Amino acid sequence: MFALFQINYHNQYFSAFGDNTKSENLAKNLWLNKLSQFSDETICGAAEKIIADNDYLPTLHKMLEACRQVGMPKGLPTPRNAYMEACNKPSPKAAQDWSHAAVYLAGRDCGWHLLANEIERKAFPLFNECYQNYCDLVLAGDQLTIEPPKELPETSAKKASHQQNLEQLKKLKQLID
C-alpha cells in the first residue's frame, strides 16, 4: 500500500515522510494497527480505489472509509440507504423485513424516536456512527441477528378488585353521559 502511494503520490509522499525512514515506519505501524481488521485484498483494493478517485495522498481516516467500502459484504446498504430504511420502516420495527440486521440494530441503538423526530442533519451522524460500528462487526465475521421482542402477557398477573372495577365502570358511564 505504501509503495503504491509512493509511486502515485511521489511529491506528496516525500513531503509527508521525507527521506526519514523513522517517520515512515511510525506511520506504517499506526496504519497497520488501524487497518489490521481488514484483509490484504481489501487494503490493496481500497488503495487502488483511492488512487483512481483522488489526487491527494489519503489520510488514515480516508483509508479506513475506503476499506469499509471495498470490503463491505453483499447485502449491507450504504450508510445513507441504511438511514433511509431505518427512518421509513413502520412499527413494530423488529417485525419488519430488513435488508440487513445491522440496519435494524443501528436504528435501535440510535433510537427510533430520534430517527422519527429529529432532522437528518442531526440524526444521520448519530445513526452513521452506530451503523459503522455494526458494519465493522460484520467485516470482522460476526453474525448479527434481530431478537424478536418479548410478547406481553395476555392477561395481567394481578386482577382488579371489585372496587376498582366499579370505579372504572363509573368513569365509563360519565364519558357516555
Closest CA to 72 of 36, 48, 45: 45
Residue position matching grid coordinates 445513507:
80
**Would the pLDDT of 60 be above 70?**
yes
The pTM of this model reads 0.62
**What was the pLDDT predicted at 122?**
96
C-beta atoms surrounding 28 within 10 Å: 14
pLDDT in tens, 136-147: 888 777 889 998
What is the predicted pLDDT for the residue at 156?
67
C-alpha cell at 58: 489519503
Length of the chain in residues, anyone?
177
